[in-house]
Amino acid sequence: MVGIVKSFALDGLKGFPVEVEVDLNSGLPKYDLVGLPDKAIKESKERVQSAIKNSAFMFPIKKITINLAPANIQKEGAGFDLAIAISILVSSGQIKSRRYKDFVILGELSLDGKLRSITGLLPMIISAKEMGQTKFIIPRINEKEASFVSGITAYAFDSLIDVVDFLNEESECEPIAIQTWKPADVDASEDFSRVRGQYQAKRAMEIAVAGGHNILMVGPPGSGKTMLAKCVPGILPDLTFEEALEITKIHSVSGVLDLNQGVVTKRPFRTPHHTSTVIALTGGGAKANPGEISLAHNGVLFLDELPEYPRHSLETLRQPLEDGVVTIARAQRTVTYPANFILVASMNPCPCGNYGSKEAVCTCTPSAVSKYLGKLSGPLLDRIDIKIDVGRVKFIDLTQETNEEPSSAVKERVNKARKIQLERFKGEGVFCNAKMSSKQIKKYCVLDDECKQILESAFEKFKMSARGYTRILKVARTIADLEGAPNIKPEHIAEAIGLRTIEKITL
């Protein structure tokens, strides 16, 4: 008898069904695995054999042929272990009931027969559900991840023995209870109330987050750039369940998901170091894993000391910054991951940090300054909607007792502005102003004559690109939304222009 067990595999974030077929034949004992398995699947032999024996079942001494169908797609990971073991036990008559036919079976086995967690469970379950599969057998450790998906029946187990007892109808158990998801409270490491002065920078940060705009802070050492960036998690808009699921799929595939939590409850704030490789940043490698820019999806990617990052790493950000997705080429196919993040970056204007300052003297040679700034290409800077100067904090601001506004108050305004945007773009597949298409810009950023005049003179003065022009319109739309204004007014355009023109780094 050929035991055919349903399982699932992943291609990027999309799942596809895999049938595990086992055929037992008399002949010299052998274990053949076909159907484009990777090394981890090939090694399943040792795990499955030990797990079956250590669970007091019989491992057939026969010619065993295992096929993972469809045979023409590469399959990865140890998530087929359980399906292979069940298929062998069905083929050898140790599982007699037909119950196994109802389930998609997922799980890795340890040598003693315990079930281990697998990566990518959530995207597999969601894809399977879309294809009409609603019943699952999964490892207990992954239980939380499945518990937020409605419309499915999933059973979680600790060991192979428990799964076999259940499939043989010798024991019954309750399916995982569906839970309701709730975003977590914010726990930012810094709060706006602790940042003295820097009112323009704080305002710029609020606008950036409200409209999903990229922001670059330029200033001398110790002016509070890193501190301001650390405040960002505290003012990010509330996370929705749909967004949380998108983030969780990526985190699940790359194995960074907190399994005790199941589904992500906070917007990501990723801070890759400047020594990170291009693959770590954008994704790739043998398994085409998502990189930092995808792990930052629906959240923030913070690049501190921007010119320290290798130029070619920064250049690879250009496509994702424009399209909100990253495409990774593999040997035979390409994988696309979402990478829709707010880029928050900081830098000094030169190696000593004082270039362009009215108060301090820059000790760098002109060539050192141009080499430093040369790491940032024009096209990259063009994709950053907001570029601000974060100057030295004034003594009076540092010493004066003031009541600085806390992040919670800023967040409230951000949430209001985001609500307006969600309402505006309902059904259009866009969630914030920064992602408007040119058609949407035409529709939602209508300018009167005075606005047009201001924009025209800035366009000529700063030699703006067409992209720069549209980005100003988007930022102006966000400023109007923060005010609750239905139309963009001249003061909104003027403020948006002021947030984009740091001549010393754009020239």
Ligand X SMILES: Nc1ncnc2c1ncn2[C@@H]1O[C@H](COP(=O)(O)OP(=O)(O)OP(=O)(O)O)[C@@H](O)[C@H]1O
Q: Name the residue with tokens 């966000």.
A: 478
Q: By CB under 6 A, is residue 223 in contact with ligand X? A: yes
Q: Which of these segments, 24-32, 222-230, 337-345, 418-426, binds Mg ion (CB under 5 A)?
A: 222-230
| Cβ-Cβ contacts under 8 Å for 132 (sequence gap 6 or more) | none
Q: By CB under 6 A, is residue 221 in contact with ligand X? A: yes
Q: By CB under 6 A, is residue 195 in contact with ligand X? A: yes
Q: By CB under 6 A, is residue 225 in contact with ligand X? A: yes
Q: By CB under 5 A, is residue 226 in contact with Mg ion? A: yes
| CB distance 410 to 235 below 8 Å | yes
Beta strand ranges found along 40-91 (DSSP E): 63-69
Exposure of 180 by Cβ count < 10 A (0-12 exposed, 13-18 middle, 19+ buried)? exposed
Find the length of the chain: 507
Of positions 30, 46, 171, 222, contacts ligand X by CB under 6 A: 222
| Cβ-Cβ contacts under 8 Å for 432 (sequence gap 6 or more) | 211, 212, 418, 421, 425, 478
When CB distances are held under 5 to 8 angstroms depending on the partner's kind, the choice from ligand X, Mg ion, none that residue 348 binds is ligand X
Q: Which of these segments, 22-30, 56-64, 214-222, 362-370, binds ligand X (CB under 6 A)?
A: 214-222
Q: What is the DSSP string of 452-482?
A: HHHHHHHHHHTT--HHHHHHHHHHHHHHHHH
Q: Residue 55: phi, psi to the nearest 5?
A: -100, 15
Q: By CB under 6 A, is residue 200 in contact with ligand X? A: no
Q: Which of these segments, 71-79, 150-158, 173-181, 215-223, binds ligand X (CB under 6 A)?
A: 215-223
Q: Which of these segments, 220-228, 294-302, 363-371, 455-463, binds ligand X (CB under 6 A)?
A: 220-228
Q: Which of these segments, 138-146, 216-224, 279-287, 314-322, binds ligand X (CB under 6 A)?
A: 216-224
Q: By CB under 6 A, is residue 15 in contact with ligand X? A: no
Q: What is the DSSP string of 371-428?
A: HHHHTS-HHHHHT-SEEEE--PPPHHHHHS---PPPHHHHHHHHHHHHHHHHHHTTTT
Q: By CB under 6 A, is residue 226 in contact with ligand X? A: yes
Which among 436, 491, 463, 499 is positioned nearest to 201, based on CA atoms?
A: 499
Of 197 and 299, the one with the shorter C-beta distance to ligand X is 197
Separation between Cα atoms, residue 78 and residue 82, nearest integer Å: 9
Of 225 and 477, the one with the shorter C-beta distance to Mg ion is 225
> In the bound complex, what is the minimum distance in angstroms from residue 226's beta carbon to Mg ion?
3
Secondary structure (H, E, C), 139-199 = EHHHHHHHCCCCCCEEEEECEHHHHHHHHCCCCCCCCCCCCCCCCCCCCCCCCHHHCCCCH
| CB distance 160 to 55 below 8 Å | yes
In the stretch 318-357, what mask flags binding to ligand X with x, by CB under 6 A?
Answer: ----------------------------x-x---------
Tell me which residue has its CB nearest to ligand X: 224
Of 229 and 253, the one with the shorter C-beta distance to Mg ion is 229
Q: Which residues within the stretch 417-456 sit at the binding site for ligand X (CB under 6 A)?
A: none
| CB distance 392 to 223 below 8 Å | yes
Of 114 and 225, the one with the shorter C-beta distance to ligand X is 225
> In the bound complex, what is the minimum distance in angstroms from residue 192's beta carbon to ligand X?
10
> In the bound complex, what is the minimum distance in angstroms from residue 233's beta carbon to ligand X?
15
Helix (H, G, I), strand (E, B) or coil at 25: strand
Of 219 and 320, the one with the shorter C-beta distance to ligand X is 219
Tell me which residue has its CB nearest to Mg ion: 226
> In the bound complex, what is the minimum distance in angstroms from residue 393's beta carbon to ligand X?
4
> In the bound complex, what is the minimum distance in angstroms from residue 226's beta carbon to ligand X?
3
Binding site for ligand X (CB under 6 A): 195-198, 219, 221-227, 346, 348, 393
